[in-house]
Amino acid sequence: MSRPHAHFRTAVVWEVLREALDDRAKTAGRETLDVLDTGGGTGNFAVPVARLGHRVTVVDPSPDALFALERRATEEGVAGRVRGVQGDAHGLFDVAERGGYDVVLCHGVLEYVDDPAEGLRNVAAALRPGGGTLSVLTAGLGGAVLSRALAGHFTEARRALTDPDGRWGGGDPVPRRFTPERLTSLVAANGLEVGAVHGVRVFADLVPGALVDAEPGATEALARLEEAVAELPAFQSVAAHLHVLARTREGSAPSADEVR
């Protein structure tokens, strides 16, 4: 089974997600799961998940991205298992079913929503009562500080370190970044049990692309290195992105009143 596009950058997330899908399918006693991909864009994860045999609903605010998703799903032969709808995390239940999904992906969303607590509360409420898995991927603060410092922008690196949202200046394209502690606290506060935390793209964004392309086997070696350090807290703190895998606590998914 192929990994998502730019696989050495997302290999850690994909391997964890694929295992989580297998575990959820066994627990549910069904081979086909209902998966919600919020902010799923052109289907970097949705299409590979559909290729595993699951039904995927992608919610994204960009009509261009959804058009590209439809085209990719058709080319990959999974158009019947992928549905794209225009929307966002704020109005999620205008286009998606509350409590209707076995697995929810929230990748690249919390950095951009006005209220990350509300956004996470909504995606958590989309999980099936009694059992569901949530995959959260966000921008990491430490990776931004490290990358600005290595580029010689020391004042910007320090600004990102002290800014409440982890931004290095007015030209920063990312509205918000997270530390591992902040992200896991946010997940836990929304009635979910944190299962695993991974640092993503610890080295991938720092190594020159020409070096990776020129050295035989370098791409796979880099992917293996990323996998080796992903679960080590010291490397999570300097990762460009953070991935959290969580699940609903025993009993049922949290209600809106419980997590407000």
Task: Please compute, for residue 186, the number of CA atoms within 13 A of its CA located in the half-sphere on the CB side.
Answer: 25
Taking the C-alpha atoms of residue 133 and residue 136, their distance in angstroms, rounded to an integer, is 10
Q: What is the pLDDT of residue 250?
A: 57
Taking the C-alpha atoms of residue 76 and residue 93, their distance in angstroms, rounded to an integer, is 28
Q: What is the pLDDT of residue 190?
A: 86
Q: What is the pLDDT of residue 256?
A: 41
Q: What is the pLDDT of residue 249?
A: 74
Q: For every one of its 260 residues, what pLDDT tens digit does the chain have, with 9 covering 90 and above?
A: 444 444 667 788 999 999 999 999 999 999 999 999 999 999 999 999 999 999 999 999 999 999 999 999 999 999 999 999 999 999 999 999 999 999 999 999 999 999 999 999 999 999 998 789 999 999 999 999 999 999 999 999 999 999 999 999 999 999 999 999 999 999 999 889 999 999 999 998 888 877 777 778 888 888 889 999 999 999 999 999 999 999 987 554 444 444 34
- Interhelix angle 154-162/141-150, rounded to 10 degrees, is 170
Sign of CA dihedral 135, 140, 143, 144: positive
Taking the C-alpha atoms of residue 113 and residue 119, their distance in angstroms, rounded to an integer, is 7
Taking the C-alpha atoms of residue 256 and residue 7, their distance in angstroms, rounded to an integer, is 36
Q: What is the pLDDT of residue 204?
A: 86
